[in-house]
């Protein structure tokens, strides 16, 4: 027996997904996260995989890991104290940023404090011109003074972000070399090495985030590698990336900004896999864990990508799966404000102490406690017995706010769920407006520990007709990391007009990107199997301020077929803005290349449909529509392909609970996915 294992650390639980290479079966597991001792949950999970399923550590031939160390370091502001070396007269790059209000609907909103305060920004006497010409190189004496000043201000590392380094990184590299000659142990990071993009703020903030979290991420990955070896897992660990791919843990130590959104991105990759499996091209993935709900849109079976995703309070400009956090997780705390209004979140009980009903020291009411009070959970085993739901403690917690709003405990619990759903409805509505889509054209796919609990309530509000609950929804992010390809992005800023005189430059730059990509894949990642290359360019009409990423055909590039490149941009511009100008001159700002080494994908055997009424394992009392009702309780593992039923009902399984209100029917498809259909209401 050999196994591929994927692990994803969440706020409350750490999820494990083990795929048996011989039987094609999937084994799942959840253990409680340990935010105060990161990594301990991974070791405990490996031991439990062996004791529960007989998966021996030496039988694990492939191991992927989605970690929250980087993002937690950023959110909690527990990174190293950095200095920032900039070109003279550019000291305010992080303070000025893009002069945008954090919340345009709140005139009193203020931008976050920079990761590197103004007093630790040190100017360097040097200059690179816009075309990459070095007008003035940095001098060793000046760099030595800058380093001394940075250390006197308490800096533990330095970001080197010099003007126009995306064109020519020579001055940044020379500055770093001088620093390392003076103090080889002082961490220094060049913005052109982290992500060499045009625009000073975007490149600088991305490098600052990278340097801020890098020491803690590197230490964690080093500890993980050692612990896995001690546990008997010989497979070199891989880590999931923000772009939906994976890379070696060794690469993650120096490319950690690429993995800040690893967990959420892996969830979307898993959702895309299930979408294609179930035959639904357009799905809205809803990943709800203990601390947040993350939404992404999958079109044509493919996830959407973007740059400038906000992590914590700051944007990062590396390519990422487009995922938006909309708050409200299973651990979101309910509270009453000064005006006596009941609110939910954004504060979360997390894993420690967790919801009150988990009986781990929590006393404040959460969304999970509300579901326990209403009877949806607590009447059967959940979380692989990692926790036991204490309904009395949930009632005591809810009672503390029920008295303040003059409602019964059950009415307050229902109000907490309604408020949480309302908040998600508002945020999803903003998203669909931004993307100019009609949510009714999409099928919701719910996963994460709390996703299936809340999905039907949100889907009804949005007017969706179907909800998919995957066979193992609670560990889908772990599965996503398991099936993700080995993937990396490469970029080169060129600023070229699209005309015949520039064909050779375009071709040569793409050749350079391809060479770097192949080196990374084959030498750095040790990959030698099939791979794909995706060519694109950031293009714009001359005079425009921002560009559009446009997919390009490699045959057209190699043939120098500029008319096809131009037409690809016109079509993309028209698709986004509903107009184009085929007479206008076009510029290429950046050339991009994505390389992906294909990872083996699980082959799930399709079951034959056998339509029959599902048999409940029990009847449970649930507070529905303002009164207690006796509803059917189904065991997910007993629902074969073709089994059907009608709500209200509850479907129990180890990794999550699916709550199905009245007016919704369910049926299991040939791959074990639970497809819930929502009856149309009469207007």
Shared-domain flag, residues 206 and 221: no
Shared-domain flag, residues 555 and 585: yes
Task: Work out the number of other CB atoms within 10 angstroms of the CB of residue 190.
Answer: 22
Q: Following CA atoms 443, 445, 451, 456 in sequence, which dihedral angle do they give, to the nearest 10 degrees?
A: 30
Residue 112 structural domain: 77-215
pLDDT at 303: 87
Within a domain: 652: yes
pLDDT at 449: 85
Within a domain: 81: yes
- Considering only CA atoms, give the Rg of the chain: 26
Shared-domain flag, residues 150 and 179: yes
pTM of structure: 0.86
Whether 138 shows a pLDDT value over 50: the answer reads: yes
Q: What is the rounded CA–CA span in Å between residue 268 and residue 509? A: 32
pLDDT at 115: 92
Task: Name beta bridge partners: 486.
Answer: 246, 597
Whether 435 shows a pLDDT value over 70: the answer reads: yes
Q: Is 143 left (phi over 0), alpha (psi -120 to 50) or beta?
A: alpha
pLDDT at 384: 65
Of the candidate ranges 5-14, 158-167, 617-626, the one whose mean pLDDT is the lowest: 5-14
Q: What are phi and psi of 244, to 5 degrees?
A: 90, 5
Shared-domain flag, residues 525 and 649: no
Tell me the CATH number at 14: 3.30.420.40
Shared-domain flag, residues 225 and 164: no
Shared-domain flag, residues 200 and 90: yes
pLDDT at 291: 75
Of the candidate ranges 99-103, 135-139, 402-406, 516-520, the one whose mean pLDDT is the lowest: 99-103
What are the distances in angstroms from CA 262 to CA 296, 404, 624? 14, 40, 37
Of the candidate ranges 308-322, 524-538, 585-599, 665-679, the one whose mean pLDDT is the lowest: 308-322
Higher pLDDT pick, 36 / 241: 241
pLDDT at 305: 85
Within a domain: 656: yes
Task: Name beta bridge partners: 335.
Answer: 343
Whether 249 shows a pLDDT value over 90: the answer reads: yes
Shared-domain flag, residues 88 and 35: no
Residues 493-539: tens digit of each pLDDT: 999 999 999 999 999 999 999 999 999 999 999 999 999 999 999 99
Q: Which of 677, 624, 617 shows the shortest CA–CA distance to 646?
A: 677
For β-strands 121-124 and 82-87, DSSP reports them as parallel
Q: What is the rounded CA–CA span in Å between residue 214 and residue 194? A: 11
Of the candidate ranges 348-362, 449-463, 634-648, the one whose mean pLDDT is the lowest: 348-362
Which 3 state secondary structure label does DSSP give 29?
A: strand
pLDDT at 683: 44
Structure tokens at 73: 């370091």
pLDDT at 327: 66
Q: Which of 267, 265, 271 shows the shortest CA–CA distance to 301?
A: 271
Within a domain: 336: no
Shared-domain flag, residues 12 and 82: no
Q: What are phi and psi of 14, to 5 degrees?
A: -105, 125
Shared-domain flag, residues 52 and 131: no
Shared-domain flag, residues 50 and 83: no
Shared-domain flag, residues 541 and 636: no
Q: Residue 349 carries which DSSP code? A: -
Residues 45-84: tens digit of each pLDDT: 999 999 999 999 999 999 999 887 888 788 778 899 999 9
Furthest CA-CA distance within the chain: 81
pLDDT at 383: 61
Whether 277 shows a pLDDT value over 90: the answer reads: no
**Residue % of the chain over a pLDDT of 70:** 98
Within a domain: 547: yes
CA 395 to chain centre: 34
Q: Which of 198, 226, 259 is the last residue of a domain?
A: 259
The count of structural domains within the chain is: 4
Q: Residue 616 carries which DSSP code? A: P
Q: What are phi and psi of 56, to 5 degrees?
A: -80, 140
Angle subtended at Cα 492 by Cα 491 and Cα 495, rounded to the nearest 5 degrees: 135
Mean pLDDT of the chain: 90
Of the candidate ranges 29-43, 57-71, 217-231, 434-448, the one whose mean pLDDT is the lowest: 29-43
Whether 681 shows a pLDDT value over 70: the answer reads: no
Within a domain: 303: no
Q: What is the DSSP string of 182-195?
A: H-TTS-EEEHHHH-
Instruction: Answer whether 678's CB lies under 8 Å from 663's CB.
Output: yes
Tell me the CATH number at 203: 3.40.50
Whether 396 shows a pLDDT value over 60: the answer reads: yes
Higher pLDDT pick, 440 / 12: 440
Average pLDDT, integer, range 536-553: 94
Within a domain: 301: no
170-178 contacts at long range (C-beta below 8 A, 24 or more positions apart):
170/128, 170/134, 170/137, 171/126, 171/127, 171/128, 171/134, 171/137, 171/138, 174/137, 174/138, 175/85, 175/124, 175/126, 175/138, 175/143, 178/138, 178/140, 178/143, 178/144
Average pLDDT, integer, range 291-306: 85
Average pLDDT, integer, range 555-563: 94
Quick one: angle between helices 262-278 and 476-483, nearest 10? Answer: 90
Structure tokens at 151: 């250390």
Q: Which of 617, 611, 610, 612 shows the shortest CA–CA distance to 631?
A: 617
Shared-domain flag, residues 155 and 40: no
Within a domain: 282: no
**Upper half-sphere CA count for residue 364 (Cβ side, 13 Å):** 17
Whether 94 shows a pLDDT value over 90: the answer reads: yes
Q: In residues, how long is the chain? A: 683
Average pLDDT, integer, range 467-476: 91
Of the candidate ranges 100-104, 477-481, 646-650, 657-661, the one whose mean pLDDT is the lowest: 100-104
Average pLDDT, integer, range 597-602: 83
């Amino acid at each position: 027996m050999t196994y591929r294992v994927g692990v994803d650390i969440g706020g409350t639980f750490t999820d494990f997904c083990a795929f048996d290479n011989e039987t094609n079966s999937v084994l799942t597991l959840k253990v409680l996260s340990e935010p105060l001792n990161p990594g301990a949950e991974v070791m405990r999970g490996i031991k439990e995989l062996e004791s529960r399923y007989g998966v021996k550590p030496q039988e694990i031939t492939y191991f992927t890991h989605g970690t929250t160390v980087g993002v937690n370091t950023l959110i909690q502001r527990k990174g190293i104290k950095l200095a920032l070396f900039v070109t003279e007269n550019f000291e305010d790059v992080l303070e000025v940023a893009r002069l945008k209000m954090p919340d345009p609907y709140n005139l009193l909103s203020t931008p976050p404090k920079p990761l590197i305060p103004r007093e630790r920004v040190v100017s360097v006497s040097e200059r690179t011109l816009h075309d990459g010409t070095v007008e003035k190189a940095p001098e060793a004496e000046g760099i030595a003074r800058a380093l001394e000043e940075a250390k006197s201000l308490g800096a533990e590392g330095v970001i080197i972000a010099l003007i126009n380094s995306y064109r020519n990184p020579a001055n940044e590299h020379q500055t770093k070399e001088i620093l390392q000659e003076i103090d080889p142990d002082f961490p220094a990071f060049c913005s052109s090495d982290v992500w060499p993009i045009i625009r000073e703020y975007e490149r600088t903030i991305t490098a600052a985030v990278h340097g801020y979290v890098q020491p803690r991420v590197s230490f964690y990955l080093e500890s993980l590698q050692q612990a896995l070896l001690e546990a008997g897992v010989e497979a070199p660990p891989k880590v999931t990336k923000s772009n939906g791919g994976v890379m070696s843990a060794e690469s993650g130590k120096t490319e950690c900004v690429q993995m800040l959104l690893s967990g959420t991105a892996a969830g979307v990759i898993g959702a895309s896999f299930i979408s294609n499996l179930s035959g639904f091209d357009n799905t809205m993935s809803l990943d709800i864990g203990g601390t947040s709900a993350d939404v992404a849109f999958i079109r044509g079976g493919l996830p959407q990508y973007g740059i400038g995703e906000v992590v914590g309070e700051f944007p990062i400009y590396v390519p990422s799966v487009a995922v938006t956090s909309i708050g409200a997780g299973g651990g979101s705390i309910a509270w009453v404000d000064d005006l006596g209004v009941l609110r939910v979140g954004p504060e979360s009980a997390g894993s420690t102490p967790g919801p009150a009903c988990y009986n781990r020291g929590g006393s404040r009411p959460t969304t999970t406690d509300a579901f326990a009070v209403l009877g949806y959970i607590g009447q059967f085993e959940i979380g692989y017995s990692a926790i036991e739901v204490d309904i009395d403690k949930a009632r005591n917690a809810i009672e503390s706010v029920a008295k303040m709003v003059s409602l019964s405990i059950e009415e307050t619990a229902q109000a907490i769920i309604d408020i949480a759903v309302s908040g998600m409805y508002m945020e999803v509505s903003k998203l669909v407006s931004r993307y100019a889509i009609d949510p009714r054209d999409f099928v919701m796919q719910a996963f994460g520990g709390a996703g299936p609990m809340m999905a039907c309530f949100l889907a009804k509000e949005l007017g969706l007709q179907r909800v998919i609950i995957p066979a193992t929804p609670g560990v889908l992010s772990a599965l996503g990391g398991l099936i993700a390809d080995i993937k990396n992005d490469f970029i080169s800023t060129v600023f070229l007009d699209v005309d015949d005189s520039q064909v050779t430059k375009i071709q040569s730059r793409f050749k350079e990107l391809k060479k770097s990509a192949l080196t990374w894949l084959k030498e750095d990642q040790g990959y030698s199997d099939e791979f794909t290359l995706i060519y694109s360019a950031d293009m714009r009409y001359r005079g425009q301020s921002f560009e559009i990423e446009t997919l390009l055909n490699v045959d057209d590039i190699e043939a120098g077929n500029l008319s096809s490149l131009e037409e690809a941009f016109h079509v993309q511009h028209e698709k986004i803005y509903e107009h184009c100008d085929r007479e206008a001159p076009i510029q290429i700002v950046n050339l991009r290349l994505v390389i992906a080494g294909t990872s083996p994908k699980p082959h799930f055997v399709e079951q034959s449909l056998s339509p029959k009424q599902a048999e409940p394992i029990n009847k449970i009392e649930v507070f529905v529509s303002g009164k207690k009702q006796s509803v059917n309780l189904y065991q997910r593992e007993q629902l074969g392909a073709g089994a059907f039923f009608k709500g209200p009902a509850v479907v129990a399984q180890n990794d999550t609970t699916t709550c199905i209100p009245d007016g919704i029917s369910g049926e299991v498809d040939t791959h074990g996915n639970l497809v819930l259909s929502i009856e149309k209401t009469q207007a």
